[in-house]
Amino acid sequence: MKTDILIAGSGCAGLYCALQLPRKLQVTIVTKLDARSSDSYLAQGGMCMLKDDGDYDSYFEDTLKAGHYENDRESVDIMIRSSPAVVQDLLACGVDFARDGQGKLAFTKEGAHSGKRIIYHEDITGKEITDRLLARVLELANVRLLEYTTLMDIREEDGRCQGAVVRTPEGAMESVEAKAVVLATGGVGGLYRHSTNFRHLTGDALAIAVRHNLGLRDMGYVQIHPTTLYTPGSEERSFLISESVRGEGALLYDKNGERFVDELLPRDLLTAAIYDRMEKDGTDHVWEDLRPIDRKELVTHFPNIVEHCRKKGYDVTRECIPVVPAQHYFMGGIRVDHDGRTSLERLYAVGETACNGVHGRNRLASNSLLESLVFAKRAALHMCG
């Protein structure tokens, strides 16, 4: 098989990268399952953006503070300043972000943010963005999408990436010749017992990176999301109760129905507080109360959370729900520069697979979609520059 650009992964990073490439290039996207089984589809809360220059300093500081000041500051600057252009691209793709009464973009707030700067679509922002990107990609004559096709290895010759080896849906191994390869295979949640991630996301690109002695970064930085619905004995993916729920006023209680923490702490600190309370109380979960949120806001902003909880036997308009932390996001990954370049020529990495240092030790809520899109676009422009 021959192609100009091979992209492994069909999440928002891989799709957006493909959309930024010149139409004269033949682009092939391979994805391990179906095209919609990526963690990008699971992002609930929203995506950050720089509303105006007056918010730059606080947005920058919020990102660094959440990351314990271990962030790459240039990466953070690039991400923040690039956000308005990315949002315009998404709007041009038909993404339907929520609007206020004047028809302007509506903003919400999440933990560790000093103000409202998160745009959203109900509580399925990732699905809305990724579905629109996928639709645009499928319209392109120069892109072919191969589902149920697994990246097994990359081809390295003369110090450069020359392509890859993939496993076809029939189980056959096939060599792919490419001028450049983009790794966008997602995170590592499938390796954990309790995770919000799809089970098939098992850090495949990281294993390939180790095999080829590529640079890695911050491999121990794994984010635990503080609030997932507690479902004992279930082997299903943990269902996320969005950060935005707490941003809009939801509260956390211990076994006695008492608040025990500031619900808007950064995720790692809030997770630690929840684990500490569970240990002191001798419980397997704490309780989250969504009733402080205006009922109309609750059912319009978070319809899927409300419905999922209903299916599990909880009426969030009348009662608290049990929640517990679970693995959520990988801040580390394959070391890349600000253009998504790895330590191997012609090999790029974007999205959760990559690490440019933007998140530091702990990712600020709703920076994941933005970071993936910003640096996927930069990678596309660089490989064709």
Domain membership flag for residue 341: yes
| 143 and 8 housed in the same domain | yes
CB atoms within 10 A of CB 112: 23
| 321 and 339 housed in the same domain | no
The tens digit of pLDDT for each residue in 19-73 reads 999 999 999 999 999 999 999 999 998 999 999 999 999 999 999 999 999 999 9
**How large is the C-alpha radius of gyration of the chain?**
20
Domain membership flag for residue 107: yes
| 241 and 112 housed in the same domain | no
| 270 and 376 housed in the same domain | no
What is the pLDDT confidence band of residue 194, given thresholds at 50, 70 and 90? confident
Has 267 been annotated as catalytic?
Answer: yes
Instruction: Report the domain count for the chain.
Output: 2
| 316 and 286 housed in the same domain | yes
Catalytic residue among 267, 341, 346, 363: 267
Domain membership flag for residue 242: yes
Q: How far is CA 116 from CA 48, 55, 119, in A?
A: 9, 10, 9
CATH number (domain holding residue 120): 3.50.50.60
| 237 and 128 housed in the same domain | no
Is 234's pLDDT higher than 90? no
Mean pLDDT of 263-274: 95
Mean pLDDT of 371-377: 98
The tens digit of pLDDT for each residue in 293-308 reads 999 999 999 999 999 9
| 9 and 110 housed in the same domain | yes
- State pTM to two decimals: 0.93
Is 235's pLDDT higher than 90? no
Residues 6+ apart with CB under 8 A from 53: none
Domain membership flag for residue 196: no
Domain membership flag for residue 6: yes
Domain membership flag for residue 314: yes
Range of the domain at 287: 224-327
What is the pLDDT, as a whole number, of residue 233? 81
| Domain endpoint, select from 305, 327, 349 | 327
CB atoms within 10 A of CB 304: 14
Domain membership flag for residue 173: no
Domain membership flag for residue 175: no
The tens digit of pLDDT for each residue in 120-179 reads 999 999 999 999 999 999 999 999 999 999 999 999 999 999 999 999 999 999 999 999
| 255 and 310 housed in the same domain | yes
| 132 and 234 housed in the same domain | no
Mean pLDDT of 94-113: 95
Beta strands 354-355 and 222-229 are unpaired
